[in-house]
Amino acid sequence: MEVVIVQDAAAGGQLIADSIADLLRRKPDALLGVATGSTPLPVYQALAARVRDGAVDVSRARIAQLDEYVGLAPGHPESYRSVVEREVVEPLGLDPDAFMGPDGSATDVQAACERYDRALAEAGGVDLQLLGIGTDGHIGFNEPCSSLASRTRIKTLTRQTREDNARFFDHLDDVPHHVITQGIGTILEARHLVLLATGEGKAEAVAQAVEGPVAAFVPASALQLHPHATVVVDEAAASRLK
């Protein structure tokens, strides 16, 4: 695992956007795994700036969602499909058909999860998976004690994660209790994992993920098992590393 400490979130965004741009130069139809939440926004903004400058061609790039809320009405502005459309697909000018994600409104959720794992494999697998980290060490929405071999499935969000995400909704009660998330085993199949963590609030989770034992109690520690994992942290998020 490679750990890169940058000054701030903007610098992290630039660094990872460069890495994505390099990948797209080598493999123009790369499948990029995208996370939602606040952390990756500087990456998407930096990448969009490179597209506007003509520094990178994303016309053949493909996008795969990491997770999705269960039970939000289709088109809900906080569904992760809507967020990825708003923050990634539209600013980069991607073809909406080049965008795949789990179906959070499926009646048969289990079948939808299995379909998504199959679709990822049939698409050739994720080339670069961008990840954030929860304050409790989750990746995707694999909350503490998720199996390190898990596949895409439905998970219940912890109260802590629902409280962390309440800022995107009017009330805590509006935050869904369930999500479909790529499993840790699914995530580990991506060819390159890039985790970005910014801010003091992530410092403890980062220290446990990077320097603690590999343990289901800290899902992000599974990155230690991956042959090509890069953890980009700003100085605040790095503050508890030894």
Min dist CB 37 to ligand F6R, Å, is 3
- Annotated catalytic residue 67: yes
CB atoms within 10 A of CB 194: 26
Q: How far apart are CA 24 and CA 79, in angstroms?
A: 27
Amino acid at site 135: T
- The residues near 171 (Cβ < 8 Å, ≥ 6 apart) are none
Q: Is 57 one of the annotated active-site residues of the chain?
A: no
Interacting residues with ligand F6R (CB under 6 A): 35-39, 66-67, 132-134, 138-140
- Catalytic choice (68, 127, 138, 192): 138
Q: For residue 197, what are the β-bridge partners?
A: 233
Give 37 or 59: the residue with its C-beta nearer to ligand F6R.
Answer: 37
136 tagged catalytic: yes
Q: Which of 85, 87, 136, 164 is catalytic?
A: 136
Residues ≥6 apart with Cβ < 8 Å to 134: 143, 160, 161, 164, 205
Q: How far is the CB of 216 from ligand F6R (least distance, A)?
A: 16
DSSP-assigned beta bridge partners for residue 212: none
The 3-state DSSP class for residue 69 equals strand
| Whether 170 is catalytic | no
Tokens of 12: 């992290």
Nearer to ligand F6R, 27 or 151 (CB): 151
Q: Which of 68, 87, 103, 143 is catalytic?
A: 143
> Taking the complex as a whole, how short is the minimal distance between the CB of residue 25 and ligand F6R, in angstroms?
26
- Closest by Cα among 165, 186, 182 to 174: 165
Beta-bridge partners for 223: none
Choose between 127 and 143: whose C-beta lies nearer to ligand F6R.
143
Decide whether 60 or 217 has the Cβ nearer to ligand F6R.
Answer: 217
- Give the nearest distance from C-beta 167 to ligand F6R in angstroms: 8
Residues 6 or more apart whose CB falls under 8 angstroms from that of 173 comprise none
What lies within 8 Å, CB to CB, of 15 at 6+ separation is: 4, 6, 232
Would you call 159 helix, strand, or coil by DSSP? helix
Of 27 and 36, which CB lies nearer to ligand F6R in the complex structure? 36
Report, in Å, the least distance between residue 26 CB and ligand F6R: 26
**Nearest residue to ligand F6R, scored by beta-carbon proximity:** 132
Q: Which residues are catalytic?
A: 67, 136, 138, 143
